[in-house]
Structure 1
Amino acid sequence: MQAASALIDRRHFLKAAGAVFLAGLAPGAAEALMRSDAVYASAFRDGNGAFGLAILSEAGDILATAELPGRAHGLASSPATGKVVAFARRPGMYALVMDVDGNAPPLVISAPEGRHYYGHGHFSPDGRILYASENDFDGNRGMIGLYDARDGFRRIGEFEAHGLGTHDMTVSDDGRLLIIANGGIETHPDFGRTKLNLDNMQPSLVLADAATGALIEKHDMPEALRQLSTRHVDVDARGRVWFACQYEGPRTDLPPLVGHFARGEDLRFIDLPRQVTQALGNYVGAIAVNRGEGLVGITSPNKGMAVTIDGKSGRVVNERAVADAAGIAASTASFAVSSYRGDFGDKKQAVNWDQHIIRLR
């Protein structure tokens, strides 16, 4: 018997998708959707080198796709509107909006002059505003771009991210806070993906006012961990922010890679077992929270590892080898994991999944 939460997820997706989307599915895809406990999205590259955005079942069946103009990285979705956005990989200049109800063709939006996307963004809870991580590359500062989802995703403003090398970001459940991971790494599109300040990094985690962009809290990495780049974030059921890092220092170091904090508290790092830290290779590529189960999941492609952590005790409850592990997102009981090799769940597709996956709610 399927869990009630799984049924709710699928029913909500079917309601948001609408008749046009469902009618457009191939018979096999429609059947796969009805069997699925959850629905996901991920960017990919196919065997011909073309890039796309896919909607998937929990079993790894591809339900629908949209072409992308280039390689993507992270994604955002709005439960309120059913829209899914794929952001170009840094230093990309596009974001693609896919409307899962099928009533509108995919829409490509572009970063303004002097900005590029950092590969991540998030919707406001009501789906009206899309926030996007951006780089003011000549000003050497992270920015959050604001786009009006009710008006063709017209760019309506920007906020300072209060840090350098802005990467992942999310929004609190009540819509009042922007939660920003500033990786602390200087880049410029003239130099591609080259990291320009590894000896003088400034990683931080920021809470900002979602209405004004005003700084509420900023947590800099301790001096001894200045080369620990804060990259990805997620929020648990208690409103606690979980963050994952990538270390740019000596390979022989074994710094903490995962931590959490709440408003008004200092950062707390999880003391992972030494063998787990070694297996992560000083690099966590993605993090996700399973709120229903109280779990935190992380992946690392460096040595091919997926780790599940108890969100209350910080204890590792599961670790498994996943070659070229990429994205992670909550599943019915634990986590769905993808790989660059095309693995998703129990299936292997003839594509290369990109770094992140999201669960559509």
Structure 2
Amino acid sequence: MRSMVTRALPLSRRSLLQGLAGLAVTTLVPGGVALANAKNTRLFQTNAEEPLFASAFRKADGSFAFRVMREDGSSVFEAPLPDRGHSAAWHRETAKLVAFARRPGNFAMYVNGMAGDGPVMFTAPEDRHFYGHGVFSQDGKVLYAPENDWVHKRGVLGLYDMTGARPHRIGEMDTGGIGPHDILLSPTCGSLVIANGGIHTRPDRDREKLNIDSMLPSVAFLHPQTGEIRARHELDPSLHQLSLRHMAMDGHGRVWVGGQYQGDKSELPPLIASFTLDGTPRIHEMPQQIKAQLSNYVGSVTASGDGEVIVTSCPRGGKILFWNASSGDYIGAQAVADGCGVAPLDQEFFLISDGSGGLRFAEGTSEYLELTAQVPGTSWDNHLISL
């Protein structure tokens, strides 16, 4: 493991961010949505000095909501959710945001940040449900949302027209597997990349896993216009119970995927792999003593702003792991109890959220870790995204 040197976050940057947060002025529009007092009507004003983040969370009274926030947890926008949320899709140029229900939930919330409108709720068809993730087309006109076609035991991408006031489902694509979970759009190869978790479930059986012995996870590369499966990768058959779930793309065009092992709990399989359209999947190993602490479970996966560091959270083991994207090597780990949401803060720093309302700064190549906020009564959900 490469040596680590503790380095403090520059005080000038911290002071600047705190000053900006203190001076922020908001006005209320009908429905209670806070609009930034700026020259245009964009709901989410993002800039390098005051980055914004978004996460689903549970309140102290047990209700659920979704928040766009500053790095200290203070709210820029907040809306209630009918049940537990999971993650969100964000299109920066058009300021469109869609927050999804946690599987097997069947609701999503759309906010048009450019228009400054209040949230619009929509659902997948009755014989489908969302998996908690989605991605916009490059121009922001189409939303691709992984869905479960449980009747036919297959995964699909629901295609939603996002050009009107309400999302409108216009079709679907086969994902080439069961249980499609996370999705991203690769600028490197121009493909949609889907992590098919391989687990068959039905909403009438809640989150029960119905095919553990025969599950077959995969990562598929699809043409975004035609749905053609350009490539479909599986790991070694000995890893067929490693459900491939969450993804991030590094600065070299490789897609890093975290797994959640469904086999014998006494086994310690590799949990991280990376993929390209045409290449052979690569397994990324970590020290055995670290692996033994993770309960065979990876939560979120993200990349630094420059794509040179990959972060994988392991909330059940209370660890955040860091990886060198160029070499593929494990760099080190930080202890964060129930830390799962991870998002890039800038080129080198990350923001980590946890189930106790904590938000922390971390630096991927050092031992730097700082609790920056503790939001009372809040439990951040699994994923944190940068806006």
Q: Under a length normalisation based on structure 2, what TM-score does the superposition of the two structures give?
A: 0.83
Amino acid at match of 1:38: P
Q: Provide closer, same or farther for how the CA distance between residues 279 and 22 of structure 1 changes in structure 2, counting only shifts above 3 A.
A: same
Q: Structure 1 CA distance, aligned partners of 2:154 and 2:47?
A: 46
Q: Which residue of 2 aligns with 1:27?
A: none
Question: Residue 256 of structure 1 corresponds to which residue in structure 2?
Answer: 270
Aligned amino acid, residue 271 of structure 2: L
Report which of the two structures shows the higher radius of gyration computed on alpha carbons.
Answer: 2
Alignment-derived partner of residue 348 in structure 1 = 374
Amino acid at match of 2:286: L
Report if aligned partners of 2:251, 2:307 keep a CA contact under 8 Å in 1.
no
| C-alpha distance in structure 1 between counterparts of 2:383 and 2:217, whole Å | 21
Query: Which 10-residue stretch deviates more, 61-70 or 132-141?
Result: 61-70
State how far apart, in whole Å, the 2-side matches of 1:340 and 1:92 are: 20
1:43 maps to which of 50, 56, 59: 56
Q: 2:215 aligns with which of 187, 191, 201?
A: 201
Distance (whole Å) between structure 2 residues aligned to residue 101 and residue 50 of structure 1: 28
Q: Give the match for residue 159 of structure 1.
A: 173
CA distance in 1, matches of 2:225, 2:307: 32
The equivalent of 2:108 in structure 1 is 95
> Deviation at 1:33?
8.6
Contact 1:61 1:347 (C-alpha < 8 Å) held by counterparts: no
Q: Helix, strand or coil: the match of 1:275?
A: helix
Find the residue that maps to 1:117 and give its secondary structure. coil
Amino acid at match of 2:336: V
Q: Structure 1: which 5+ runs fail to align?
A: 25-29
The answer to whether 1:234 aligns with 2:234 is no
- Larger % of helix: which? 1
Which amino acid in the other structure matches residue 67 of structure 1? Answer: P
Q: Matches of 2:128 and 2:189 in 1, distance apart?
A: 25
1:136 to 149, 153, 158: 149
1:172 paired residue number: 186
Gap regions ≥5 residues in structure 2: 1-9, 39-43, 361-371
Which residue does 1:61 correspond to in 2? 74
Distance 1:73 1:222, change over 3 A: same
CA contact (8 A) 2:90 2:98 kept: yes
Question: How many residues matched?
Answer: 343
Distance verdict in 2 for CA 1:38–1:139, change over 3 Å? same
1:118 aligns with 2:131: yes
Deviation at 1:42, TM superposition (A): 0.2
- Give the letter aligned to residue 180 of structure 1: I
Q: Are the aligned partners of 1:125 and 1:174 in contact in 2 as well (CA < 8 Å)? A: no
Cα contact 1:184–1:202 (8 A) shared by 2: yes
For residues 58-77 of structure 1, give each alpha carbon's deviation from its aligned partner in whole angstroms, at most 9, with x where no partner exists: 23333221111211111110
Q: Counterpart of 2:163?
A: 150
Deviates more, 1:43-52 or 1:288-297: 288-297
Q: CA deviation at 1:348?
A: 1.1
Distance 1:174 1:147 in 2: 24
- State the alpha-carbon separation in 2 of the partners of residues 76 and 183 from structure 1: 19
CA 1:34–1:173 in structure 2 vs 1: closer, same or farther (change >3 Å)? Answer: closer
Once superposed, which parts of structure 1, at least 4 consecutive aligned residues long, lie more than 6 Å away? 32-35
Deviation digits for residues 185-241 of structure 1 (CA, Å, limit 9, x no counterpart): 000011001011111111000001110111110112211001000001111222211
Q: Deviations over 1:16-54 (max 9, x none)?
A: xxx971139xxxxx9x99995421000011011111110
Give me the CA root mean square deviation: 2.5
In structure 2, the CA distance between the partners of 1:175 and 1:132, relative to structure 1 (3 Å rule), is: farther
* Structure 2 residue aligned with 1:84: 97
* CA shift for structure 1 position 149: 0.7
Which residue number corresponds to residue 335 of structure 1?
350
TM-score, length of structure 1 as denominator length: 0.89
Equivalent-residue separation in structure 2 for 1:68 and 1:49 (angstroms): 11
Q: Distance in 2 between matches of 1:200 and 1:234?
A: 27
SS of the counterpart of 2:94? coil
Query: Pairwise mapping of residues 309-324 of structure 1 onto structure 2 (< 5 A)?
Result: 309-324=323-338
Identity %: 37
SS in 1 for 2:129: strand
User: Paired residue for 2:279, among 240, 265, 269?
Assistant: 265
